[in-house]
Amino acid sequence: MTLRTLGTNTTTSLSAFSYTAQPDQQNAGLLRAGIKNDLSIGGKVGSIWPDAFVQGGLLYIPNRGTLQLYRGDVIAFDPTTGFPIVVSSLAITAPSSNWHLV
């Protein structure tokens, strides 16, 4: 399994996957490698944040804190900065949603 693509009706450019209670380890590893530190702490802007995603539904966002994930939430990261993006499962599945996951 590989990362999927998240976007809106006008764009498709973010690597992403849909969270499950037991996420695929390959996807979790790809996400860990993609999420980066967006602030300069000790001169390490853009360094990989290896603990960004852990099992148990917790997403550790660099320099921001922890976010609880629920089944079906979609986690992506910006390809330029490596900053994580979370879209709730309700936002993805709503009939009038502009989001899509392919």
User: Rg (Cα) of the chain, in Å, rounded?
Assistant: 13
Q: What is the mean pLDDT of the chain?
A: 76
What is the side-by-side order of every strand in the sheet holding 84-87?
84-87, 74-77, 11-18, 4-8, 99-101
More confident residue, 9 or 79: 79
Give the pLDDT band of residue 68 (cuts 50, 70, 90).
very high
Alpha-carbon distance of 58 to 52, in angstroms, equals 9
Name the range with the highest mean pLDDT among 3-7, 11-15, 52-56, 85-89: 85-89
Nearest Cα residue to 100 out of 2, 1, 3, 16: 16
pLDDT digits (tens, 9 = 90+) for 49-58: 777 777 678 8
